[in-house]
Amino acid sequence: MRPATPLLVLTIGQGLAGGIIVCLAALMWMGRLTGPEAIVPVLAALGTAAVGGMGSFFHMHNLKAARYVMRRLKTSWLSREALTTAIFGAFLAVLTVWTLFDGAGVSSVGYQTLLVVTAATGVLAMWVTAMLYATIPAVLSWHTPLTVLNLMLVGITSGVAVTAGWVSAVPSLWIGFAILLALTAAVKLLHWTHFLRAHGQIRAETGTGLPFSPYRLQDTGTTKPPYRTQTQVWPLLQPALLRTVKLWTVGWLFVIPLAAVVVWQTGAWGGARWVLPVGAMLGVIAERWLFFADATHSSRVFFVDEPRRAPQVPMTGARKSM
């Protein structure tokens, strides 16, 4: 699938925001959250959620029709996503205001309730978004419960890592953090295995009615890239690129944060703490890019899989209607 920037921004942003709030709620529950410490993470959550929201907004290409977007709550996960994301955003906004203007209120029942409810809406929003992806049979790579686990866990992990930059309790709970990382990593690896299987799952014989292999799609015409109007097709990644991005993901999202926590714990380098948010961001971008770029759509069987190439000529210029 072609990785669309708005969707990267949306899913990363939403996951991060949700993750941060979930993390804060957990800390609160453990009694390890202080008011002033919460300010930056809450702001960050609001920021990323807002950016994510903007992303989703700009993924709509016909804004005139935006008002219809919740018309199909009954069937469409996207309608539901619009709703749950909005609800989460609203709670997050109130939470932010409360956190900013009533710094000491962390211990108040009202604040605590709000935090828990916001975290719950965040989780709900993440779940709905994940379900949107997981329920499309045509995208074979995503059509698995692993997608839900993956998106939610990566969201939470990234949120926790970002929170760690400001809330010192997080690194000190490093065992918990390590367990979370391991869990997420395990899901991610499983998901990747599923992706690999998905590649092999498109069946030319059922896609074309030809009874015997090997198959070859021979067209050099409108079934070859650049597919500017076919956003669901995106040529197979070159193996070297795939390997590199996977390594990058594993490194920044799992290995380096873990190492950073350990280093920080040993007190060898205080700055290690800041590696967490930065690393998580780099890792999650790579992870999410792969989530799209490496995903297999069933229609790939109908398109010539040539390596991508940039258009050879400028795409700007006049527009002509006749």
Partner 1 sequence: MTEYSPARLSKPLMREPGAPRGEGRLVPVEWETALSTVSGWLQNIRETDPRRLAYFTGRDQMQAFNGFWARQFGTPNWAAHGGFCSVNMAAGGMYSIGGSFWEFGWPDLENARWFMMFGVAEDHPSNPLKLAISALKERGGRFIVVNPVRSGYGALADEWVPIRPGTDGAFILALMHVLIREGLFDEEYLRQWTNAAALVRCHTGSDQDGLFLRTEDGEMMVALEDGRVVPFRSAQGQGVLNGTVVYEGAEWEPSFQVLQREVEHATPAWASSVTGIPKRTIVRLALEMGKVSQQQPLVLPIAWTDFYGHQHPTTVGRPVAFHAMRGLAAHTNGFQTIRGLFSLMMLLGVVDVPGGFLYKSPYPKAVPPAVKPAPNPEDYQPNQPAKAPLLGYPTSPDDLLVDGDRPIRIDEAYSWKYPLAAHGAIQNVIANAASETPYGIDTMMIYMANIAWNSTWNTLTTRDLLIARDEETGEYKIPHVVVFDAFDSETVAYADIVFPDTTYLERWDATSLQDRPISEPNGPADSIRQPVVPRLGDTRPTADVLIELANRLQLPGFVENGTPKYRNYADFIHFWETEPGSGVGLLAGYRGANGTEELVGEPNPNQLATYAEHKAFWQHVLPDERRYYRMANQNYLDWASRVKFVPKPDPIILNLYSEPLQTFRLAGQGRWPGKKPQDAVLKDRLSRYFSPVAVWYPPLEDRPEEAEAFPLRIITQRPMTHYHSWGSHNAWLRQLLNENPLYINPKKAQALGLHEGQWVWVESRIGRMTAKLRLSDAVEPDTVWTWNAIAKGPGSWALDPQSPEVRRAILINHIIPDRQAGPYQSEYFNNDPVTGQAGWYDARVKIYPSEIEEVWPIVDPRQPAVERPEVSRLAYTTKEG
Partner 2 sequence: MQLTIITDLNKCVGCKSCQVSCKEHNTSGAFGPVPDHTPYQDPDGMWWNRILTMESGEYPNTSVLYLPKACMHCYDAPCVPVCPTGASFKREDNGVVLVDYDSCIGCQLCMWACPYGVREFDEEAGVVKKCTLCIDRIEDETLPEHERQPACVQSCPTHARTFGDLDDPNSEVSRLVAERQGFGLLPELGARPSVHYLPRRPAPSPLDTETLETAMEERY
> Which residues contact partner 2 (rule: CB under 8 A)?
1, 59-66, 68-72, 75-79, 82, 132, 136-139, 203-204, 206-219, 221-223, 226-233, 297-303, 311-315, 317, 319, 321
Partners of residue 139 on adjacent β-strands: 297
Dist CA 85 CA 87 (whole Å)? 5
Look at residue 217 and give the partner it binds from partner 2, partner 1, none, a contact being a CB closer than 5 to 8 Å depending on partner kind: partner 2
Site string for partner 1, 163-202 (x = CB under 8 A): ----------------------------------------
Residue (of 302, 258, 292) closest to 276 by Cα position: 258
What's the burial of 277, exposed, middle or buried (CB within 10 Å: 0-12/13-18/19+)?
buried
The reply on whether position 213 binds partner 1 by CB under 8 A is no
Determine the 3-state secondary structure of 111 from DSSP.
helix
Residue 61 makes contact with partner 1 by CB under 8 A: no
Q: What is the DSSP letter of 65?
A: G
Q: How far is the CB of 235 from partner 2 (least distance, A)?
A: 13
Contact segment (CB under 8 A) with partner 1 among 24-32, 123-131, 199-207, 218-226 equals 218-226
Peptide bond preceding 226: is omega within 30 degrees of 0, i.e. cis? yes
Q: Work out whether 319 is an interface residue with partner 1 (CB under 8 A).
A: yes
CA-to-CA dists, residue 249 to 28, 246, 255, angstroms: 30, 5, 9
Q: Per the omega criterion (within 30 degrees of 0), is the bond before 257 cis?
A: no
Q: Which does 286 bind (CB under 5 to 8 A by kind): partner 1, partner 2, none?
A: none
Q: Under the criterion CB under 8 A, does residue 317 sit at the interface with partner 1?
A: yes
Cβ proximity to partner 2, 79 vs 157, nearer residue: 79
State yes or no: residue 322 binds partner 1 (CB under 8 A): yes
321 binds partner 1 (CB under 8 A): yes
Note whether 109 binds partner 1 by CB under 8 A.
Answer: no
If the CB atoms of residues 169 and 236 are measured against partner 2, the closer one turns out to be 236
**195 three-state secondary structure:** helix
Beta-bridge partner residues of 207: none
